Amino acid sequence: MMTTLVVSRVSPNRVGAVVNRNVGALRSGPAYWIVLVSGFFEPLLYLLSIGVGVGALVGNLTVGGRTMEYASFVAPAMLAVSAMSGALSETTFNFFFKLKYMKTFEAVLATPVRPIEIAVGELIWAIVRGSVYTAIFLVVMVALGLTSPVGALAAFPATVLVGLGFGGVGMAISTLMRGWQDFDLLSTGQFALFLFSGTFSPVQNYPAGLEILIQVTPLYHAVELVRGLCIGVIEPSMLVHVAYLAAMAVGGLWFAARRLEKTLCE
C-alpha cells in the first residue's frame, strides 16, 4: 500500500531530468571517462590472471554434475562482480560526493523533484553505467568462448538486476556515510564479498557453517544467478536469487529516499 502510494507519485519526467544531469556531467569532461574505464578493467584483469592463468593449473572443475573449464566457472562470477562494482562506484563515491560536497541534491530539492525521484534517477544512471561494463564483458566472454551468445543474452538482464540490487543498497549506505574514511570499510567489505562468494571456488567446498554464512550475503546470489544463466543450468532455486536482489533494490531505494528526505529536508 505504502509502496504503491510512493510509486504512483514518482514522475518519469523528473526522474529523467535527474538522469539527464548525469549525462551532461559525463559529456562535459574527460575525467569521468577515466573512472568509467578503470571500473571495467579490474574484473577483466582478474578473469585473465586467475580464470585463465590459474585455470591452466587447476584444470577442469565439476559443479552440480557439470564439468567445465575453470575459466568458464570464474568468468560469470567476474561478470557479476563487474555489475556490482559498476553500480556501487556510481551510488557510493559519486552519489556521496553529490550529496555531501557538491550539494547537488540540495539544489535539486528546491525544484518539484522529490527525494524518491532523485534516488530512482541516480539508480537508473548507475545501471546505465554498470551495463556498459557488463555488455563489454559479455562480448569478451563470448569472444573467448567462455559462454554462448544465448547464454550472454540471458545473463545480461540478470546483470541489470544485480546492478539494481547493489546500486540500491550502495545508495542507502552512502546516505549513512560520515566521511571518506567510511569508504575504506566499504571497500574492505566489497573485497571480502569478491573473494568468498563462490567466485573462485564452489561454495560447496567450504565448511558447512561458512557455506551458510556465504549464502546469506548478496554477491553469492548474484554470482549463482549469473553463472547459471551463462553455463545454461536453469534451476527453480534461481527465483530465490532474483527475489533476494529485487529486495535489495527496493529496500535500498526506499531507505535512501527516506534518508535524503531526513537529512536534506529537515
Partner 1 sequence: MIFARGLVKRFGDFTAVDGIDLEVAPGEAFGFLGPNGAGKSSTMRMIGCVSVPTAGELRILGMDPVRDGTRIRARLGVCPQLDNLDPDLTVRENLTTYARYFGLSRAESRRRADELLEFVQLSDRAGGKVEPLSGGMKRRLTIARAMVNEPDVVLLDEPTTGLDPQARHLLWERLFRLKQRGTTLVLTTHYMDEAEQLCDRLVVMDGGRIVAEGSPRALIETYSTPEVLELRFPDGLDANPQYAARLEGVGKRVDPLPDRVLVYVEDGDVALAEVHRRGLTPSSALVRRSTLEDVFLHLTGRTLVD
Q: Which residues bind partner 1 (CB under 8 A)?
A: 11, 13-14, 16-18, 20-21, 24-25, 28-29, 32, 102-104, 106-114, 264-266
Nearer to partner 1 by Cβ, of 18 and 138: the residue is: 18
Cβ at position 121, least distance to partner 1 in Å = 10
CB of 7 to partner 1, least distance (A): 15
Extract the C-alpha cell encoding 126: 548507475
Kindly state the smallest distance separating residue 25's Cβ from partner 1, in Å. 4
Taking the complex as a whole, the smallest distance from the CB of residue 83 to partner 1 amounts, in Å, to 24
Q: What are the φ and ψ backbone dihedral angles of 63, each rounded to 5 degrees? A: -125, 130
- CB of 259: closest distance to partner 1 in angstroms? 15
Nearer to partner 1 by Cβ, of 215 and 263: the residue is 263
Name, in order, each residue with C-beta under 8 angstroms of 260's C-beta and a sequence gap of 6 or more: 99, 105, 109, 115, 118, 119, 175
Cβ closest to partner 1, residue 21 vs residue 221: 21
Closer CB to partner 1, residue 184 or residue 266? 266
Buried b (16+ CB within 10 A) or exposed e, 171-190: bbbbbebeeeeebeebeeeb
What is the 3-class SS of 48-93, one letter each residue? HHHHHHHHHHHCEEEECCEEEEHHHHHHHHHHHHHHHHHHHHHHHH
Can you read off the three cell numbers belonging to residue 7?
510509486
How far apart are the C-alpha atoms of 115 and 141, rounded to whole Å?
Answer: 38
Q: Based on CB atoms, which residue is closest to partner 1, 26 or 154? A: 26
